[in-house]
Amino acid sequence: MLLHIPQVLNPEELAHGRVLLDGAPWADGCITAGTQSAQAKRNLQLPQDTPAARELQAMVEAALARNATFFSAALPKQVFPPLFNCYQGGMDFGNHVDNAVRADPFSGQWVRTDVSCTLFFTGPDEYDGGELVIEDNYGEHRVKLPAGDMILYPSTSLHRVEPVTRGARVASFFWTQSMVRDDARRSLLFDMDRAISSLRARVGDGEETVMLTANYHNLLRMWTEL
């Protein structure tokens, strides 16, 4: 499932985040790259243990916690602490697949990467290039979203970031271990959840709504890993 989630950050959070990122102590992006990714990765990244990074992480995590669409689509069991990167001056990230597991730098707990997310802090008018290109069975999807919006996609996807030839592309990126490991099952549950919400808005909690809701939860119960 490839999903655009608009306005994850509100204008006040976005403005404050931009201030923090503008004064951030950027480092080489390879500090968190795996063996394969390090060969293709050319960007800047905010070290995870800096005060700015910790404040930004808390802000993004709070935004995710209140976003019903993110919960419905990702069914999060654990979210890896958000990271922050910057592409400028021709920087790019070649084709790669994200590492299957990552160790949380603060708890040491291993997180399986089922769902990948990129949350944009700069808008498409602020830089040239920098498209996130995600490949799947239907071809290439080129993503360049407004500031505050987020793209969610399976971590199994081959993807890249095109060179940034003007300005700077600044974003948060992170992974989620889902309660439902399989992407096709998550997609089915997400579609059912949207259908239930639409049906409830039109007819209330009638017999059909209750039946569909029961089927949703029984499928979730069948597929959930806790």
Assess contact for 85 and 56: CB atoms under 8 A: no
Query: In angstroms, rounded to a whole number, what is the distance separating the alpha carbons of residues 162 and 142?
Result: 10
98 is in an annotated binding site: yes
Assess contact for 154 and 1: CB atoms under 8 A: yes
Gyration radius from the chain CA atoms? 18
Query: In angstroms, rounded to a whole number, what is the distance separating the alpha carbons of residues 162 and 93?
Result: 7
- The token pair at 40 is 């293709």
Query: In angstroms, rounded to a whole number, what is the distance separating the alpha carbons of residues 85 and 43?
Result: 7
Query: In angstroms, rounded to a whole number, what is the distance separating the alpha carbons of residues 11 and 225?
Result: 36
Query: In angstroms, rounded to a whole number, what is the distance separating the alpha carbons of residues 133 and 151?
Result: 11
Binding-site positions read 96, 98, 159, 169
Annotated binding site for Fe cation: 96, 98, 159
- Residue numbers in the known binding site for 2-oxoglutarate are 169
